[in-house]
Structure 1
Amino acid sequence: MSVTLKLATSLDGRIATASGESRWITGEPARRAVHQLRAEHEAVLIGIETALADDPELTVRLPGWNGRQPARVVLDSRQRLTPGCRLVTTARDIPTYVVATSAPDPALTAASVRVVQVRAVGEDRPELKTVVAALAAEGLSRIFVEGGGQVAASFLRCGLVDALEWFRAPIVIGGEGRPGVGALAVAALVDAPHFRRVEVRELGDDLWERYERI
């Protein structure tokens, strides 16, 4: 099982302005690289807030691409994903999972969304180690996490991130912007998640930094 976390941020680690504007922080070459990374994984995972705010498809959209599409996974404790969103309306064509902490919603299962029920922790959030194990049981062993700052922080806090794919744009948004990684409750540097940089590439004006967990 492997988990890769993708971040696309400003130089100061922000994924959006205070108002939520985020399209597009990085340029076209970086976005194309993200699609290639999606193609290399078995599932793309986001949180429900990202799903509701952006209504994404989470598909591989590369010129001439005719390979398989990765499964889509949404962390959605209360099953707030709406029947009319793109993920649900395309669930019959592309495997789509909702990870919830309650019994499956018939409206989602009727649309061919696969609801995986796991135990809750904290404020009714899915327990991530259980989530990863449940997805592995579904045959999804290479997960690409594209969620917002809270999802990123949750995976890092649990020690589940094996690799980081960090796309950094040459802009500065400032402290009022939305962070790429939420609170980690790190009291000492020794407790912070540590990674080793393995590669840096230039993609137009952006940098693509690749890291592996130490």
Structure 2
Amino acid sequence: MKQLRVTLKIASSLDGRIALADGTSQWITSADSRARGHRMRAEHDAIMVGIGTVLADDPLLTARTVPLPARQPMRIVADSQARLPPASRLARSADLGRVIAVTAGGPGGGALEAAGVEIWRCGNGVRMSVTDFVRRAEAEGLRTLLLEGGSTLAASFLRAGLVDEIAWFRAPILIGGDGLPAAGSLGLMDLKSAARWRPVATERIGDDVLDTYVRSEH
């Protein structure tokens, strides 16, 4: 039985877009929603994003709460081909807490390890396996994981049935069909195959809305 509880955090427009067509996403939701997101980070053992998010935004991924948390969550990048730049803010801030690059298992990553980034090899040498990653995370003692993006990483965990909860922040704007979707392809052939989610909470945060869902058993 899976022990790692995975929460997918989405910050989107009303029509479910997380960025413009060119990847611009700062900032869709409000400062108050982003502050709430930092509190969510502080409540989890680890934060995970895809390498595309890192290359586009160069995030730090720390929990910047007031006051700061006693311990920063582990920061994890899904990075099949070890493309995380050693000069990125993540790699250069390994002294703030553990930074992990999860690769597909092939060669490479030496420069990252020299910069203080840990390499977890979880895959077949070509593609990272989210199920292998979850097993490694559990072996490392992680119990809660916050997925923050992007759409490819979200879809990988959703396809594998590994997401337990969705925290969906929606801003009162429309981006349109040329924007980037909250989740990539799920490969559904019919609606009966779609996972069902049960709404458990709705919260107004200024003009934004935070909806929380848990996976339905039915």
> Could you tell me the TM-score, scaled by structure 2's length?
0.94
Q: Does 1:110 align with 2:84?
A: no
User: Partners of 2:143 and 2:134 in 1: how far apart?
Assistant: 8
User: Partners of 1:96 and 1:164 in 2: how far apart?
Assistant: 24
Give the Å deviation of 1:83. Answer: 0.8
CA RMSD in angstroms comes to 1.2
Report if aligned partners of 1:92, 1:111 keep a CA contact under 8 Å in 2: no
Q: Secondary structure at the match of 1:83?
A: coil
Q: Does 1:16 align with 2:19?
A: yes
**Of 3, 7, 13, which aligns to 2:6?**
3
> For residue 155 of structure 1, what is the aligned residue in structure 2?
157
Deviations 1:161-202 (A, max 9, x none): 000000001111110111111111112111112110000000
User: Partners of 2:44 and 2:96 in 1: how far apart?
Assistant: 18
**Of 102, 125, 128, which aligns to 1:126?**
128
Report if aligned partners of 1:75, 1:100 keep a CA contact under 8 Å in 2: yes
> For residue 32 of structure 2, what is the aligned residue in structure 1?
29
Report if aligned partners of 2:94, 2:117 keep a CA contact under 8 Å in 1: yes
- AA in 1 matched with 2:75: R
User: Partners of 2:67 and 2:88 in 1: how far apart?
Assistant: 26
Give the Å deviation of 1:104. Answer: 5.2
User: Partners of 2:68 and 2:51 in 1: how far apart?
Assistant: 27
> For residue 175 of structure 1, what is the aligned residue in structure 2?
177
> For residue 89 of structure 1, what is the aligned residue in structure 2?
92
> Could you tell me the TM-score, scaled by structure 1's length?
0.96
User: Partners of 2:19 and 2:110 in 1: how far apart?
Assistant: 34
Report if aligned partners of 2:63, 2:69 keep a CA contact under 8 Å in 1: no
Report if aligned partners of 1:103, 1:117 keep a CA contact under 8 Å in 2: no
User: Partners of 1:153 and 1:137 in 2: how far apart?
Assistant: 24
> For residue 52 of structure 1, what is the aligned residue in structure 2?
55
Report if aligned partners of 2:86, 2:111 keep a CA contact under 8 Å in 1: yes
> For residue 165 of structure 1, what is the aligned residue in structure 2?
167
Deviations 1:97-140 (A, max 9, x none): 0111224522111122110111238xx22111111111111122
Q: Does 1:70 align with 2:73?
A: yes
> For residue 188 of structure 1, what is the aligned residue in structure 2?
190
Q: Percent identity?
A: 45
> For residue 199 of structure 1, what is the aligned residue in structure 2?
201
User: Partners of 1:211 and 1:66 in 2: how far apart?
Assistant: 26
Structure 2 gap ranges (5+): none
Q: How many residues align?
A: 212
- AA in 2 matched with 1:2: R
Structure 1 gap ranges (5+): none
**Greater Cα shift, 110-119 or 98-107:** 98-107
